[in-house]
Amino acid sequence: MNSLLRAYQLTCIREDRVLFDELSFTVNAGDLIQIEGANGAGKTSLLRLLAGLSLPYEGEVRYREQAITKCRENYYQNLTFIGHLAGVKGELTTVENLSFSLALQQDRIDNIDNAIERVSLTGFEDSYASHLSAGQNRRIALARLWQSTSKIWILDEPFTAIDKSGVAQLEQLFLDHVARGGAIIFTSHQELQIANHSVQRINLEDQI
C-alpha cells in the first residue's frame, strides 16, 4: 500500500474530557475516509490534528512516515484543508478570494470560471464575500477543490450549504480524486450517495 498519512496513537483531551484515546489508522492513496460521531465526539478536533493546526495530547501524525512537525512545508504543499469556517476574506470578491487561495497553495489558477460554476456561484464572480451569505462563502472555499493539485484533502462538513445537484458534483469529484491516487478524510452529517466506491468509516465514539 502507498501510505500517505498515518495517525499514530492519537489522544485528544479538551476541557479535561478525553475525546479519543490512542487512535491509530492509516490513510493510503485512493482512500475515502469518513469520520463519524455525535456532536462533541471530536470530529473537528481530529481533522485539525491531522492538518497540523493543533497538537495531540499524545501520539503524532505522520506524512509518508515522517512526523508532520518535521516536514511541514512538504506536507502543506500536498494538503488541502477546508475547515468548519469558510476562511474567505470579506473585502475580496469571489474571484479574488479563489485566486488568492489557489496562489497560496500553488494550485492551478487556470479555468477558475469552471470552478465557480461548479459551486453555483456564476454571476457572483465580482461580488464581495462580505455581501454574500454564509452558504455562498462556504462554496467559495469549496471551489478550491476543483483546482486542487494536493494529494490529501481534509474536509470538515464539505456538503453543507450546497444543493442536491452540487452534492452530486462534489461526490463525483471525490471519486475522481481518489481514482487519481489522492486521499480524502472528511466529516458529513449527510447520507452519501456514492455507490461505486467503498467509504471507510471511523466512529470516534468507539475510540474512548
pLDDT tens string 144-195: 999 999 999 999 999 887 888 888 899 999 999 999 999 999 999 877 777 6
Q: How far apart are CA 149 and CA 181, in angstroms?
A: 11
Q: What would the mean pLDDT of 46-56 be, rounded to a whole number? A: 96
62 contact partners, CB below 8 Å, separation of at least 6: 5, 6, 8, 68
In order, the DSSP letters of 170-198 are HHHHHHHHHHTT-EEEEE-SSPP---SSP
Nearest to 33 by CA among 57, 13, 16, 50: 50
Sheet holding 58-63, edge to edge: 17-28, 3-14, 58-63, 66-67
Residue 1 in this model has a pLDDT that exceeds 60 = no
177 contact partners, CB below 8 Å, separation of at least 6: 145, 148, 153, 184
Confidence of residue 3 (pLDDT cuts 50, 70, 90): confident
**Phi first, then psi: what are they for 34, rounded to 5°?**
-105, 125
Q: What is the pTM of this model?
A: 0.93
Q: What would the mean pLDDT of 70-80 be, rounded to a whole number? A: 94
Q: What is the chain's length?
A: 208
- List the grid coordinates of 60: 503524532
Say which CATH topology domain 1-78+151-208 has. Rossmann fold (3.40.50)
pLDDT at 155: 97
Q: How far apart are CA 208 and CA 201, in angstroms?
A: 16
Q: How far apart are CA 2 and CA 137, in angstroms?
A: 35
pLDDT at 71: 96
Q: How far apart are CA 47 and CA 186, in angstroms?
A: 8
CATH 3.40.50.300 positions along the chain are 1-78+151-208
